[in-house]
Amino acid sequence: MTEVLLDVRNLSRRFDVSKPWLNRKLEGLPKTYVNAVDDVSFTVNRGETFALVGESGSGKSTIARLIVGLLRPTAGEIFFDGQSLSRGLEGAQARRLRRRFQMIFQDPLASLNPRWHVTDIIAEPLRVFERGMGERDRRLRVGELLTLVGLSPEDGVKFPHQFSGGQRQRIAIARALAARPDFIVCDEPTSALDVSVQAQILNLMKDLQREFGLTYVFISHNLQVVRHMADQIGVLYLGRLAEVNAAPVLFDRPRHPYTRMLLDAVPDIDMTGRQRKRVEGEIPSPLNPPPGCTFHPRCPLADARCRVEVPRLITGVACHAVEEGRAPWAPMPVPA
Ligand SMILES: Nc1ncnc2c1ncn2[C@@H]1O[C@H](COP(=O)(O)OP(=O)(O)O)[C@@H](O)[C@H]1O
Ligand code: SF4
Ligand SMILES: [Mg+2]
């Protein structure tokens, strides 16, 4: 039976990116904001992978940081295992919840302390969450974790810079697993790696998911990377979800024009005969997004309504043309 572990409801986050006060006064400028995440809702089932895909600046990392509590939402709420994360948790309850989730970042070199031995890096969550654990048990556990991610217990005495990019990401994964979490947010964990190394890390993450029943939110700018990794995929465009669906359905029958554009742009490795096209147009500045559907300047189906009215996510797709039944590839939606 599927069970919702993470429930993200109407999540928004804006950033104040105004010039300093004096500049604004002298130049007569108003405050400026970026709506990095705008009314995003999705759910993640226990033991599954939910992939968030979008171009650079679409709000992926902001959502990741909101989920793990590194940022506070401007609006909306996040529930984890039925508990609201947005209502400042405290004390023992917060600690119990905190140890259940972890985050893995794109650049392991930046997220691993360069002056620490690998053993101390991996042991850090144990010092925080397993306060009763003795030094000897901690060393043993670190050795176990290193083996689990395909490294050797002897690697513990080295420093991060003595490893390759792929090995460093294995160290980051070992650290993430140390306190036995059940939920991991992975923010472009393989984007900095060569393609062959990428595949090894993805396979490792899949194996660990099966072994420990982990739930992932997996972030990538590349749809193909998440194809075999994700159960559900959410496509982000300028801070909003354009489309959400089960991975095979999204690939076989993409409905949002932007999803179709992304899929048309990738090399056709499965030889489906689909024409390869380049992604047309530039992603607009998040500082000054187009009104209505923010995708309208790039969309072949845009009409007058699209230029003024924001499409809502209905049955997994936020598009007026699909809703109106005038997208040639999408059948008329079944009335609810
Ligand atoms: N701390 C911040 N202050 C101001 N703007 C930010 C901050 N973090 C992110 N942004 C802006 O929010 C938008 C989304 O950024 P981000 O979540 O990093 O996107 P992605 O990870 O998809 O590339 C971008 O326009 C970015 O410039
Ligand atoms: S709402 Fe309009 S502009 Fe936006 S994707 Fe759909 S058809 Fe294109
Ligand atoms: Mg990012």
Among 199, 151, 197, 140, which Cα is nearest to 173's? 151
DSSP string, 220-261: ES-HHHHTTT-SEEEEEETTEEEEEEEHHHHHHS--SHHHHH
| Model confidence at 170: pLDDT above 90 | yes
Q: Which ligand has the nearest atom to the CA of 327?
A: 2
Which atom of ligand 2 is nearest the CA belonging to 327?
Answer: 7
**CA distance to 21, 81, 249, per residue, from 327 (Å):** 47, 38, 17
What pLDDT sits at residue 271?
46
**Exposed e or buried b per residue across 281-297, where buried means at least 16 C-beta atoms within 10 angstroms of its C-beta:** eebbebeebbebbbbbe
Which atom of ligand 2 is nearest the CA belonging to 299?
Answer: 8
* pLDDT tens for each residue of 248-284: 999 999 999 999 999 987 554 444 545 555 556 778 8
Residue at 117 is within a domain: no
Among 21, 169, 178, which Cα is nearest to 109's? 169
Query: What is the whole-number distance in angstroms between the Cα of residue 136 and the centre of ligand 3?
Result: 38
- The owner of tokens 């809502």 is 312
Q: Which residues constitute the domain of residue 91?
A: 4-100+182-324
What average pLDDT does this structure show over 43-47? 97
What average pLDDT does this structure show over 152-173? 95
Pocket test for ligand 2, best of 237, 256, 295 (most atoms within 8 A of CB): 295
* Residue pair 121/145 in contact by the 8 Å Cβ criterion: no
* pLDDT tens for each residue of 104-154: 998 888 889 999 999 999 999 999 888 899 999 999 999 999 999 999 999
Lowest mean pLDDT among 67-81, 105-119, 140-154, 227-241: 105-119
Residue at 118 is within a domain: no
| Model confidence at 331: pLDDT above 80 | no
Query: What CA–CA distance (Å, rounded) separates 202 from 209?
Result: 10
What pLDDT sits at residue 332?
59
What average pLDDT does this structure show over 189-193? 89
The CB density around residue 148, as the number of other CB atoms within 10 Å, is 17
The CB density around residue 68, as the number of other CB atoms within 10 Å, is 18
- Provide the pLDDT confidence category of residue 2 given band limits of 50, 70 and 90: confident
Q: CB within 8 A of 131, min separation 6: which ones?
A: none
**Element (DSSP H or E) covering residue 206:** helix 195-212
Residue at 13 is within a domain: yes
Query: What is the whole-number distance in angstroms between the Cα of residue 36 and the centre of ligand 3?
Result: 11
**Domain with 38 in it: what CATH number?**
3.40.50.300
Residue at 48 is within a domain: yes
Residue 301 CA neighbour count, 13 Å, CB half: 19
What pLDDT sits at residue 86?
73
Q: At 54, phi and psi to the nearest 5?
A: 180, 160
Query: What is the whole-number distance in angstroms between the Cα of residue 57 and the centre of ligand 1?
Result: 6
Which atom of ligand 1 is nearest the CA belonging to 239?
Answer: 14
Dihedral (CA of 316, 318, 323, 328) sign: negative
Number of domains in the chain: 1
Q: Which ligand has the nearest atom to the CA of 34?
A: 1
| Model confidence at 182: pLDDT above 80 | yes
Residue at 110 is within a domain: no
* Residue pair 104/35 in contact by the 8 Å Cβ criterion: no
What pLDDT sits at residue 334?
56
Residue at 271 is within a domain: yes
Amino acid present at 123: A
Query: What is the whole-number distance in angstroms between the Cα of residue 65 and the centre of ligand 3?
Result: 10
What average pLDDT does this structure show over 54-74? 94
Residue at 206 is within a domain: yes
Residue at 305 is within a domain: yes
Burial class from Cβ neighbours inside 10 Å (0-12, 13-18, 19+) for residue 46 reads middle
**CA distance to 127, 139, 144, per residue, from 154 (Å):** 20, 11, 11
